Each structure stands twice: as C-alpha cells, then as structure tokens.
Amino acid sequence: MGVDKPSQNLVVHDEEEGSERILEGSILLTKLEAIINWGRKYSFFLYPFVTACCGMEFMSVAGPRFDLDRFGAALPRFTPRQADLMMVVGTISHKQAPILVKVYNQMTEPKWVMAFGACATSGGFYDNYATVQGIDTLIHVDIYIPGCPPRPEMVIDGLLKLQQKVVKEKWADWPRGEALVKRS
C-alpha cells in the first residue's frame, strides 16, 4: 500500500501473529471504510467555481509557493463530473445562483463544498439586491473559510479541517442527494 505510518484509523495487525508474518509486513489489514476515507482525503479533485477577486488568492494557494498539491488537492478539473471538491471562490449573485446549483447537482457523489472567502460564506459586505447571502442558502457546505480574501494559510487550514472531517465519514453519510433548493 505504500503506507509508512498508518494513522490511528487504520487498524494494523500485530506482525508477530499468524499469516501476516509469512508475508513479512507486506499486507495491511484495515476497515474498508477507513482506507477509502484515507484515500479520499488525500486525493481531492477540485472544481474551482471562481467568480471574483478571491480567485487571485486561490491561484496563489494552488500555485507552487503555497502548493495545495502537498495535501493531495492539486488537480483542478474543469468539469464538475470529474471533481469531488467544489471550491466556491467569490461572490455569488442571484443571476448566478441557478448555475451554481446546476454545477453542484452535476458533481458525482461523494462531493464536498468549500465556501472560500466572506462572500461565499455570508454574502460579505454585499447586502444588496444582487447578491446571495451565503451559498449555504442554496447548497450543502462542508467548510467555511472567512477572510476578504482569506490568506493562503487559512485555505490550507480549512483544507486540513476538511480532511479531518472526511476521515470520520460513514457509509451512511452518502449519498446526500440534490441541492437544498430546486431549480425552477
């Protein structure tokens, strides 16, 4: 498996016992749920839903200096059908809300959503006729990152928190189903 230091969730049998001894530690016993969650948390395929100035900060955190690739979340997919982490980066206007919901519904499960920055989280300072007051009024959100825009360190912290969340997930958590609001 190439696992050097199994985390606490990966249950490894004592190597002194039974058949494992013959195989000299080349096998690893664990729960399927745990190993799949472990694989998921280190292989997010991003869908960058970038609408505003936070996009610059997204480019920074995805680029080589801060390097999301270190956490396995480096591969932006520009089709939602191949992605499992939607990063909503920037202000969502009411005109755009149906598009966001459509893209969310096109993603295959399991899927996670990161609200990146103040606008995606709550509408930010745009409390006006044009702006959605937080994307959680439309779709399920897993992790909120405050900041206008957030520092790359905050994004990395958010990603690590999301990884901790993914590790604890159960089979029964999926599927989540469609977005909270129906498209008219």
Partner 1 sequence: MELSLSLKKLKEKFSDSIIDMHAFRGDDTAIVKKEDILKINKFLRDDEELLYNFMIDLTAVDYLGREPRFEVVYHLYSLKYNRRLRIKARIPESDCTIDSCVSVWIAADWFEREAYDLYGVIFTGHPNLKRILMYQGFEGHPLRKDYPVKGRQPLIGPKN
Summarize as ranges the residues that interact with partner 1 (CB under 8 A).
Answer: 94-95, 97-98, 101, 123, 128-130, 132-133, 137-138, 181-184
- Work out how close the CB of 26 gets to partner 1 at its nearest, in angstroms, rounded to a whole number: 53
Q: How far is the CB of 85 from partner 1 (least distance, A)?
A: 22
Q: Are 130 and 169 in contact (CB under 8 A)?
A: no
Q: Report in angstroms the alpha-carbon separations of 106 from 53, 97, 155, 167.
A: 25, 14, 25, 24
Q: State in angstroms the smallest separation of the CB of 106 from partner 1.
A: 16
- Bridge partners, 45 (sequence order): 75
The nearer residue to partner 1, 122 or 163, going by C-beta atoms, is 122
Peptide bond into 146 cis (omega under 30): no
Give min distance, CB of 102 to partner 1, in A: 10
E-strand ranges in 111-154 read: 112-116, 143-145
